[in-house]
Chain A
Amino acid sequence: MNDDVLKRVQSNPKFLELVHKKTSLGWTLSAVMLVIYYGFILMLAFAPKLLGTPLGEGSITTVGIPIGVLIILSAFVLTGIYVRKANTEFDLLNQELVEEAKK
């Protein structure tokens, strides 16, 4: 990439928009994943009894089982949200940006 193209991209407001959107979504979703996972880890470390509570009266299944499955599902859903946003909205913006940089 030569300096001209670089300057043109950097000064394009679409670039700033792309960077802002992509990084804020990326960091937000990472934070969500970290909070979910470390919330679980801290619960294991400091309140393991909580996860061992039965789901209902006389039930064997404990709260921890659906929570565990939900964490697995949340990882999948979070990646889905990011990919959907990035592969449509961000990529469109990116494409425009690349076109404009070529001019």
Chain B
Amino acid sequence: MKKTLTTLALVGLATAPTLALAAGAFEGDVQRQATNWSAIIMFFIFVAFTMGITYWAARRTKSASDFYTAGGGISGFQNGLAIAGDYMSAASFLGISAMVFDKGFDGLIYSIGFLVGWPVILFLVAERLRNLGKFTFADVASYRLQQTPVRTFAATGTLVVVALYLIAQMVGAGKLIQLLFGMSYSSAVVLVGVLMVLYVTFGGMLATTWVQIIKAVILLCGATFMAFMVLSSVGFSPEAMFQKAVEVHAKGIAIMSPSKTDPIDSISLGLALMFGTAGLPHILMRFFTVSNAKEARKSVFFATGFIGYFYILTFIIGFGAIMLVLNQPGMMETIVKNGKEVTQLVGGSNMAAIHLSKAVGGDLFLGFISAVAFATILAVVAGLALSGASAVSHDLYASVIKKGKANEADEIRVSKITTVILGVVAIVLGLLFEKQNIAFMVGLAFSIAASANFPILFLSMFWKGLTTRGAVIGGFIGLVSAVVLIILSPAVWVDVLKNEAAIFPYKNPALFSMTMAFAFTWLFSVLDSSKQASEEKAKFDAQFVRAMTGIGASGASKH
């Protein structure tokens, strides 16, 4: 569930109060449900199976390359599934289907935004990244620039994005598990943290990738079954499905068209979604797990196909839930929210897909889908932890502190220690933030990825004139402006800090912070007339040849 809260947060950031419902189940107080044994048993089968994979992977993980990138031996198809798995989070699944359940057509808008970044990553980023880098995107950004400042910046960008994401995942996981399994919040958070550390420290990227692949396959199968059952109930006529949905939905025919949005907000969100993906360190890292540029391209092709298919399924699932779950006996509850009585789905709209699974497949299938939702969280946090750990061990420890002279065994050890620390930090923060509104966090992570990581990565590959000074100053301006604008925006300034009105009126800062990052990176690079700057520009040609042809690129390790 890379995006468990991505969706919820962006959705929340972008579509204002109406979305409180979709975010509700993860945000507010969640009622602990009765212990769901079939879900717990199926979940433990998943855990046992993935632990077996981790054991298998551990025996094959020896070198740093094995640990960070599974030795570069993942195929394009497998990597496509793993990338899709990173994207098909519990939130994409629960959050987008909840959004369709609440608002109909609007859910589709988000799916599209999440998807369209992928073709652009393929056309402009994927193969250059693969040809230039080894383990992290900082390898590429610092290729011809000064190692220490650029890697320090890239590692900061990575750690900030990873930390925000991890907190959001942990809190989301705790709430979700309370609802699905009837476990307590704290034990759920600890369980997720411990399993994450086990997968990563023992199995490295190989285990992390296979856990993600398996989860992706199970989730796709489960969602396909649900969509099939929904469509079969209306004789495979979408028109009939929409007709029935419109009849029972409180908003009636309005669910078939988009609701009103602010143009600047839509464009800004569009930018964050599209380019944020190309700046997410744990996604970028996946391009180093394949053997060459050809496989890197294939992975995006398969990933785009799987993700697109999945989003079409969630749309059908959302409408299916309106048709088969909404207002059905036993599925609705009346709770008191802000002093008012509200009738909602049991557990909130985020549970729409879960209730639908019971409606179409009975208790056993409900357990299955609940277990898949939890497995999704695990697979995503493992990828995040590995990405954060590699920023510390590969970028900070090996390159900045040891100046590229660290021995491999030490580097891996640092990586594993970092993973354990990240696990502890994630658990502690997960517990601390239990009662906080964290919906803005993943939106913030996406905005930072689009405003700090992406501009520098992009310019380092495409613009000869980029210098160290420009990259570091521009990158930090992007990072800081994204954070400041989010703090001043309605999501934090009004909702969290309880001020009257927001200083920055828009929900997403990307349009402004990303523009600032590009502008200042350009400005400070152009103004940089140092000897070092001209040396850096001179190295561009060699970099360009390697990016284009792959001559000198790091290959798959042999074993």
Binding site for B on A (CB under 8 A): 1, 5-6, 9-10, 15, 18-19, 22, 25-27, 29-30, 33-34, 36-38, 40-42, 44-46, 48-49, 51-52, 59-62, 64-65, 68-69, 71-73, 75-76, 78-80, 82-83, 86-87, 91, 94, 97-98, 101
Contact = CB atoms under 8 A, between A and B. Distances in A.
A37 to B, nearest CB: 5
Contacts of A5: 551
Nearest to A47: B258
A60 B551 contact: no
A91 B541 contact: no
A6 B116 contact: no
Contacts of A75: 115-116, 118-119, 304, 308
Contact of A37 (B105, B116, B263): B116
Interface SS majority for chain A: helix
A73 to B, nearest CB: 7
A64 B256 contact: yes
B82 to A, nearest CB: 17
B549 A15 contact: yes
A91 B311 CA distance: 32
B493 interface: no
B238 interface: yes
7 tightest Cβ-Cβ pairs between the two chains A and B: A52-B257, A45-B263, A26-B123, A68-B108, A72-B308, A60-B242, A83-B301
Contact of A72 (B112, B257, B301): B112
Interface of B: 105, 108-109, 111-113, 115-116, 118-120, 122-124, 127, 238-239, 242-243, 246, 253, 256-263, 266-267, 270, 274, 294, 297-298, 300-301, 304-305, 308, 311-312, 315, 541-542, 545-546, 548-552
Given A22-B548, A65-B108, A75-B304, 7 more contacts: A37-B113, A44-B258, A65-B242, A73-B308, A79-B122, A83-B298, A83-B301
Contact of B243 (A9, A25, A60, A80): A60
B242 A44 contact: no
B551 A1 contact: yes
B112 A48 contact: no
Contact of B120 (A33, A62, A65, A76): A33
B236 to A, nearest CB: 14
Contacts of B308: 72-73, 75-76
